[in-house]
Structure 1
Amino acid sequence: MNRFSILIICLLVSFSAFAQKVANEIILRTSSNTSTKTEMLRSIKSMDRDINYVELKPLCKSLDIYLLIIETTSGSDFSKKAINILQFNKDVDYAYANSMTHRRATPNDPRVPNQWNLGLVRAIEAWDVTTGGEDFNGNEIVIAVMDDGFDIDHEDIQSNLWMNNNEIIGDGIDNDFNGYIDDKHGIDLDSEDGNIDLESHGTSVMGIIGADSNNEIGISGINWNSKVMVLSSVTNEAKVIAGYDYIYQMRKMYNLSSGITGAYVVATNYSLGIDDEFGDDHPAWCNLYDLLGDVGIVSVGATTNSNSNVDEQGDLPTTCSSPYFIGVTNTDKNDLKVTNAGFGQEHIDLSAPGRNTETFKPDSQYGTFGGTSASAPHVTGALGLLYSIKCENLAEFIKERPGEAALRFRQSILKGTDALPSLNGVTASGGRLNILKSMSDLSEFCSNDPTIPISGDLQVDFVREDKNGAYTIFYKSPDTREVTLTIYDMIGRKLYTTQSIPSVFSRSNERINLDRYQAGVYIATLSLEDEVVSYKFRHISQ
């Protein structure tokens, strides 16, 4: 099993609290002894008068794995109550609710085989965790794209265009009081209304971020279901400022109205810019990124399409010094920096695929698109995907502290990169976007106790004595590779061994049962490839 397969499993397991459970069905491992099973069934049936019948159905006899089925009169689910009882039964090694499986999230769009970029940034694996759309609290995720123009009639974007539901289209009135009339999907900065200009560049950017996916048409966007807000004719600095202000006002309205008005914009993309200019000379532009960040928006910009060090020669917007901004350069399918792409260890944060990226063309056509203009929307799309992770702690953090959350999401994008030799010393992170690894970096928010580190040097932290000879072994591992846990007695006899996948979103642990063994000192060893650590603990016989 490769490393990324293990990471996907960890991510999926970490979100198991949100998996669809099968009511009144519990998977457990217990003794094959008939009297033991009979007593277990009796104790479960006696939990409530509503329970009519309890059955223990063998699933894997060689491993003593069974399915406990509870039949009730009312249809009430007694799974949690039954699991609580079973966990304290000395004859039960483990018990947990049966869960529905689901088909892996591979889109059926016909041009996906041409999208080599999706595999490179690990979007395909990330889709097994989330495909975008809404966050845990049901907020519709919106990504704002500023560019020259867009084909909003493209066949593969219709379901994913943001819709301003507070605007009555065609009545000539600014219904939502945001300063613009009929801004159905966004605004045009020339006409200052909702009549979006049509251009090729913005159309291609839009497709990378949010093409309607799994619809048997065209391509797949980084986000399958998140909405794209479009701002066209953003072709000079004044329009950049006005465009960002529109986005800021819409997110601010959303925050203040608890979602009644405005839009839940989480990220912006601008794949245009000005060569050889420094952010310090354009404070009106650059100061907007902090303003946007304060309400919860991370902004992404493409660097110049010339082989220049922007730290020394300048570039807008990538030399804007804001902690809420991400500057992106271009690498190819071989993970080499494209020659005609800007760099800078201070101001260019990471790379993403750019050259020959399959995406939209006007008039519902498709083709390749390149340059840093294609790289930036990969990162912007990744942010939208991260915001859709179904994690309650993370959602509450976003709701209560949107500005801090924006900083944390930016950090995860940078920490999750794959290190590339071609970017070493010429970008801040030294790496290329990896969406799956960025997801794993958000793990602390989905742990029950985010103050406790869940990764680190290989070690057994402690062994907790439970009941009836059961113990829980808590450990750390530097990454998500499979580890081997083995229990020995003091004369070196192997009593128990298992393979364990370290958790990404909670503290790693394994539960064992020693009730059949004598009291004494035992050794828990944890091994990862050639590294082995051990921990002594005392077992008190029951």
Structure 2
Amino acid sequence: MSRRLILLCLVIFAVTVTVNAAPEAVPGQALVRFANPITIEQAQAEFNPGEFRVEKVLVRQLNIFLVKFDPKLDVLQAVDMLKGHPKLLWAQADHILSQRVTPNDPLYSSQWAWFQATDRDIDAPEAWDIATGGTNIGGDDIVVAVVDGGCLLTHPDLAANIWQNSAEVNGVNGVDDDNNGYVDDRNGWDGYANDGTIPTDNHGTHVSGTIGAVTNNGSMVAGVNWNVKIMEVAASSSQTSVISVGYCYVLDQKTLWWTSGGTQGANVVSTNSSFGVDLAFCTSGSYPVWNDLYNAMGEVGILSACATANANYNVDTQGDVPTSCSSPYIIAVTNTTSSDTKNSGAAYGATTIDLGAPGTSITSTTSNGSTGSLTGTSMATPHVAGAVALMHSAASLGFYNYYNLYPDSGALALKQMLLDGTDPIAALAGITVSGGRLNLYNACLAISEFVGPNPEEPYITVAQAVSNDTLTGDADGAWERTEQVEIVVTLNNLGEDALNVQATLTTLDPYVTIGDGIGTFGDIPNLAEGDNSADVFTATLAPDAPLDHSIDFVLTVTADSGYSRELTLSLDANPKVTYFEENFENGSGDWTHEIISGVVDQWHLSTEQNHTPNSAWKCGDTGTGNYANAQDAGLVSPSVVIADDSELRFWYSLDSELSVAYTDSAYDGGNVWISVNGGPYSLISPVSDYPKDFRYLAGGGNPASGPQPGNPCFAGPTTWRETVFDLSTYADSTVQFRFRFSTDAAGAREGWYIDDVRLLGAPGASAAPQPVDGLVILSEGYDTFLHWPPSSTNGAVYNIYMSTEQNIEPVNGTLVAQTADTFYVHSGIVDTSDYVIYQVTVSLP
């Protein structure tokens, strides 16, 4: 026997032993993952209860369940049976795990965020079984930019993980050795002094340790990442200009990394930002640079973890910069405790704050070279910034390829996996986007299973889907009740050339009927797009469809060589329509104003502020001064008949006196009242409720002097924002609105501005094009002459259809023309076709 053959046999033997050494499993149970979202009741209905029983949900966002069966049944046999189920992505045994190796850092046990017996933690040890950080699957260093006050770069538990610009570290002092525009930027940049010398700062040192303290080194603490590169950017400032310098440095380094093929710059995947402006709105027009910066960084693949305010208020209604910014590349974070409650000193917001993370009594590195405990949203956010970095380390080859092709959409996909993987907790339900607290393990597991583009086969995704009612509806651009629309889907191919692409469109929505569900897309080459505009889908909306209805579709895409992929898309239908609108650009019109009590009424049209140029109503001084005290005045709308399912929307800006001692109260503010069918006015509340109440007890328990004691109100410094009132209970009533501004006897601010008032409600059912009776068709030579009786409705449009096949109705054939006339001449068709049939329909305005 040759030596080569002996070695081959040894290899085979070793492999055989490894395969047979399967981990021990819990008898009588297994884990399964469904392909689509499903309830526990629906999951149970998929199995014979005599064989398998769905015990509980394990990971809601990933559709993972625990299934039980007869313990006498062999676990592997049961798993094989489950794997055959068509709705499952996978099934596996519930393996019994050995005690994992935990970091040997002496303070690890005091870092409750990593692990607690109560499981009110981020499941860090489980995540570290997948990855511990440092590099991605391509071997690239992963970098987190800490935009803060600075850092102790020589801290013994941080120094090895501090990012280094090797060209500058090994270069000449005072020279831009790498020609990146920054001189001596060895470890980052100082936005205060605009140089490369990083100041020492306790806050920034603490944040850096949470993201990436050197871990399992027998010293001090553990970080989210055991190994990672931390770029220090000193720019946490009260000046937006300094912050802009800091973010610009981060953006430049990532851009340089892409353009140099990774030989220069830094592979920054996330930033950590623990600063901001309380009670301010990104959308107000006063803070445009913030969104621009986050969007620019996001476009090169950087997610920005941002701390919300350290105050217990609703960012949705009261604002915060940057966590109220609309950039999709922001991950806004609030502070949770070791008992999975929201810290009482942390802000929240159902549409603005994405998730919670541990931020109370967090032990990390400090600027004296040791460790310490701090509390705040600033301590919560680095857990998330670090999680983004660890996810890149855990990511599959599919995600790595996807991110390198499309860093912007790759970053958003990672963010969604992070949010989908949160642990739902009651304290955050309904007051954050995800309703949950960070779970590091779920996030790393999801991205490790990400199936991205394989260069050897097509990888088709939905780029866009639109509905069109031009030919089959009323051509107003909205898909309304009873209306048939054409649906055009644009597909994007990130993989190998896709040949002969076809797709089938289906939906389970009870309000939608698919007409034509088959579409052809032709060939879609690599990195190209294709659509079915030449072979559209059609669908009809039911007459009882809800308003503002979102419809989910499944698109099954096939191509040559056996390619098949199931995609999802959504379309909006039956939107509310605006039937009353006033922007106050043409004077006061039918709007009036009045004194409600007292003797002062300062309502007037103003150009000092506006939401849309150039005018808005203001209750306050006619110049730049403050409003009058002891005022109670109303701005009154004209009478309007309310349509079904209506809502009132308007934009306002407000600066009024708040109570310092009682943070839920105000001394001055505004609210909205309604008069129905000429009756007395009554107070109405916005969908998101008023943020304050008028004080009804002043200091010492004496009654306040204001005219609306105890009533809820808008108050405080609030830049331009839109608010919504549900008017569905007032359908068919004639109403007037009164915008009431009330002040007490002392203290004054700028006042209340009102602009862009709208009423939206249910549209009428759209009339589908109707066939015209009395169509006369005459042929003469090469021409066909068509004429028909006119519609009784002015503005009617006639649609002329033709079919040259006996089994196809004309309206499903070719649209020849659209005209407002009652006659049409079609030339040439009779001479070239054996069979022709016409039909004319009328679309009414």
Which interval holds the TM-score relative to the shorter structure? Answer: 0.5 to 0.7
The residue aligned with 1:81 is none
Q: Map of 1:218-233 to 2, 5 A cutoff?
A: 218-233=220-235
**Contact kept? 1:58, 1:66, Cα under 8 Å:** no
Q: Map of 1:143-182 to 2, 5 A cutoff?
A: 143-167=144-168, 168-182=170-184
The residue aligned with 2:246 is 243
**Contact kept? 2:188, 2:196, Cα under 8 Å:** yes
CA distance in 2, matches of 1:346, 1:66: 49
The residue aligned with 2:764 is none
- Structure possessing the higher relative contact order (Cα contacts under 8 Å, 6 or more residues apart): 1
CA distance in 2, matches of 1:441, 1:200: 34
Deviation, structure 1 residue 391:
2.2
Q: Secondary structure at the match of 1:180?
A: coil
User: CA offsets per residue over residues 37-76 of structure 1, 9 Å max, x none?
Assistant: xxxxxxxx9xx99414747979999xx9599xxxxxxxxx
The residue aligned with 1:128 is 129
Decide whether aligned partners of structure 1 residues 172 and 330 sit closer, same or farther in structure 2, where only a CA change above 3 A counts.
same
- Give the letter aligned to residue 106 of structure 1: T
> Does 2:120 correspond to 1:118?
no
User: CA offsets per residue over residues 184-224 of structure 1, 9 Å max, x none?
Assistant: 11011122112111111111111100101111111011011
The residue aligned with 1:386 is 391
Decide whether aligned partners of structure 1 residues 118 and 308 sit closer, same or farther in structure 2, where only a CA change above 3 A counts.
same
**Contact kept? 1:106, 1:127, Cα under 8 Å:** no
Pick aligned residue for 1:421 from 417, 421, 426: 426
Q: Secondary structure at the match of 2:165?
A: coil
- Give the letter aligned to residue 124 of structure 1: P
CA distance in 1, matches of 2:106, 2:288: 45
Decide whether aligned partners of structure 1 residues 277 and 390 sit closer, same or farther in structure 2, where only a CA change above 3 A counts.
closer
The residue aligned with 1:140 is 141
So what's the TM-score if we normalise by structure 2? 0.42
**Contact kept? 1:444, 1:450, Cα under 8 Å:** no
Q: Secondary structure at the match of 1:442?
A: helix
User: CA offsets per residue over residues 308-337 of structure 1, 9 Å max, x none?
Assistant: 101111101101101111100001000000
Deviation, structure 1 residue 450:
10
Q: Map of 1:54-93 to 2, 5 A cutoff?
A: 54=9
% identity of equivalent residues:
40
Deviates more, 1:101-110 or 1:399-408: 101-110
Q: Secondary structure at the match of 2:431?
A: coil
The residue aligned with 1:209 is 211
The residue aligned with 2:505 is none
The residue aligned with 1:51 is 5
So what's the TM-score if we normalise by structure 1? 0.65
CA distance in 2, matches of 1:261, 1:58: 43
CA distance in 2, matches of 1:141, 1:225: 9
Q: Map of 1:102-501 to 2, 5 A cutoff?
A: 104-119=100-115, 120-167=121-168, 168-235=170-237, 236-280=239-283, 281-389=286-394, 391-442=396-447, 444-446=449-451
Q: Secondary structure at the match of 2:208?
A: helix
Deviation, structure 1 residue 276:
0.8
User: CA offsets per residue over residues 159-183 of structure 1, 9 Å max, x none?
Assistant: 1000001224552011222322111
CA distance in 1, matches of 2:14, 2:242: 68
- Give the letter aligned to residue 146 of structure 1: V
**Contact kept? 1:58, 1:65, Cα under 8 Å:** no
- Give the letter aligned to residue 113 of structure 1: S
User: CA offsets per residue over residues 5-34 of structure 1, 9 Å max, x none?
Assistant: xxxxxxxxxxxxxxxxxxxxxxxxxxxxxx
CA distance in 1, matches of 2:451, 2:439: 20
CA distance in 2, matches of 1:144, 1:324: 15
Decide whether aligned partners of structure 1 residues 59 and 130 sit closer, same or farther in structure 2, where only a CA change above 3 A counts.
closer
Decide whether aligned partners of structure 1 residues 254 and 338 sit closer, same or farther in structure 2, where only a CA change above 3 A counts.
same
Deviation, structure 1 residue 427:
0.3
More helix by share: 1
Structure 2 gap segments, 5+ residues each? 23-79, 81-96, 116-120, 461-845
CA distance in 2, matches of 1:66, 1:289: 49
CA distance in 1, matches of 2:213, 2:199: 19
CA distance in 1, matches of 2:429, 2:204: 30
- Give the letter aligned to residue 122 of structure 1: D
Q: Root-mean-square deviation (CA), in Å?
A: 2.9
Decide whether aligned partners of structure 1 residues 243 and 105 sit closer, same or farther in structure 2, where only a CA change above 3 A counts.
farther
Deviation, structure 1 residue 446:
4.2
More strand by share: 2
**Contact kept? 1:357, 1:374, Cα under 8 Å:** yes
Decide whether aligned partners of structure 1 residues 233 and 396 sit closer, same or farther in structure 2, where only a CA change above 3 A counts.
closer
CA distance in 1, matches of 2:21, 2:314: 63
Q: Secondary structure at the match of 1:428?
A: coil
Structure 1 gap segments, 5+ residues each? 1-44, 68-92, 94-100, 453-542
**Contact kept? 2:107, 2:220, Cα under 8 Å:** yes
Deviation, structure 1 residue 440:
2.6
**Contact kept? 2:157, 2:214, Cα under 8 Å:** yes
Deviation, structure 1 residue 392:
1.6
Deviation, structure 1 residue 239:
1.2
Deviation, structure 1 residue 444:
4.9
Deviation, structure 1 residue 390:
5.2
Decide whether aligned partners of structure 1 residues 413 and 390 sit closer, same or farther in structure 2, where only a CA change above 3 A counts.
closer
CA distance in 2, matches of 1:250, 1:214: 30
Q: Secondary structure at the match of 2:434?
A: coil
CA distance in 1, matches of 2:458, 2:105: 39
The residue aligned with 2:743 is none
Deviates more, 1:211-220 or 1:394-403: 394-403
- Give the letter aligned to residue 136 of structure 2: D
Decide whether aligned partners of structure 1 residues 217 and 415 sit closer, same or farther in structure 2, where only a CA change above 3 A counts.
same
CA distance in 2, matches of 1:436, 1:231: 29
CA distance in 1, matches of 2:3, 2:156: 57
**Contact kept? 1:105, 1:128, Cα under 8 Å:** no
- Give the letter aligned to residue 193 of structure 1: D
CA distance in 1, matches of 2:429, 2:458: 32
Residue correspondences, number: 373
**Contact kept? 2:396, 2:448, Cα under 8 Å:** no
Q: Secondary structure at the match of 1:116?
A: coil
The residue aligned with 1:12 is none
Deviation, structure 1 residue 250:
0.3
CA distance in 2, matches of 1:346, 1:58: 55
Larger radius of gyration: 2
Q: Secondary structure at the match of 2:211?
A: helix
- Give the letter aligned to residue 340 of structure 1: G
Deviation, structure 1 residue 286:
1.7
CA distance in 1, matches of 2:243, 2:433: 25
**Contact kept? 2:316, 2:352, Cα under 8 Å:** yes
Q: Map of 1:91-102 to 2, 5 A cutoff?
A: none
Decide whether aligned partners of structure 1 residues 163 and 443 sit closer, same or farther in structure 2, where only a CA change above 3 A counts.
closer
The residue aligned with 1:478 is none
CA distance in 2, matches of 1:228, 1:58: 41
User: CA offsets per residue over residues 384-443 of structure 1, 9 Å max, x none?
Assistant: 000012522221112111111101111111111000111111000000000111123225
Deviation, structure 1 residue 149:
2.1
**Contact kept? 2:342, 2:427, Cα under 8 Å:** yes
CA distance in 2, matches of 1:327, 1:140: 25
Q: Secondary structure at the match of 1:269?
A: strand
